């Protein structure tokens, strides 16, 4: 992730080693809100979810905010997408905002507010 990327302004096309990531059909959640859209990995649409940005990745895992809109809640969770088979795992509680910071082999660290004052950690 580029340190200048935000949920409002992020690269819509990225090269992830031998894979390509592209956001399409971007829209704001609300006026002035974070942008979400569909993603294509190697020109394959990933499920019927809307994803935010920015994302984190290593050579076979993409970690990305996913927007959930259910009867009970609206907001973001964390999605882990395996780049070899496009399987997806969705983690955590719903947050108004997710700004990914870093991850290692067992956990993901992210901020849940625009001021980056609420640091969170989730095991996966």
pLDDT tens by residue, 11-53: 999 998 889 999 999 999 888 889 999 999 999 998 889 999 9
Against a cut of 0.75, is the pTM above it? yes
Q: How many domains does the chain have?
A: 1
- Letter string b/e over residues 72-87, b meaning 16 or more CB atoms within 10 A of that residue's CB: eeebbbbbbbebeeee
> Which residue, chain included where needed, has tokens 């882990």?
80
Please choose, from the candidates 48, 45, 24, the residue with its C-alpha nearest in 3D space to the C-alpha of residue 35: 24
Its domain, for residue 113, covers 13-123
Query: In this structure, is residue 5 part of a structural domain?
Result: no
Query: In this structure, is residue 36 part of a structural domain?
Result: yes
Query: In this structure, is residue 7 part of a structural domain?
Result: no
Query: In this structure, is residue 6 part of a structural domain?
Result: no
Q: How many helices (H) and strands (E) does the chain have?
A: 0, 12
């Amino acid at each position: 992730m580029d340190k200048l990327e935000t949920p409002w302004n992020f690269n819509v096309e990225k090269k992830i080693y031998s894979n390509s990531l592209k956001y399409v059909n971007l829209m704001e959640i609300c006026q002035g809100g974070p942008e979400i859209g569909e993603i294509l990995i190697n020109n394959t649409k990933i499920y019927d979810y809307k994803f935010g940005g920015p994302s984190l990745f290593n050579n076979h895992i993409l970690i990305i905010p996913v927007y959930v809109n259910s009867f009970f809640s609206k907001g973001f969770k964390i999605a882990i997408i395996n780049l070899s088979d496009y399987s997806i795992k969705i983690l955590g509680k719903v947050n108004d905002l997710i700004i990914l910071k870093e991850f290692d082999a067992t956990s993901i660290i992210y901020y849940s507010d625009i001021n980056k004052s609420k640091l969170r950690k989730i095991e996966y």
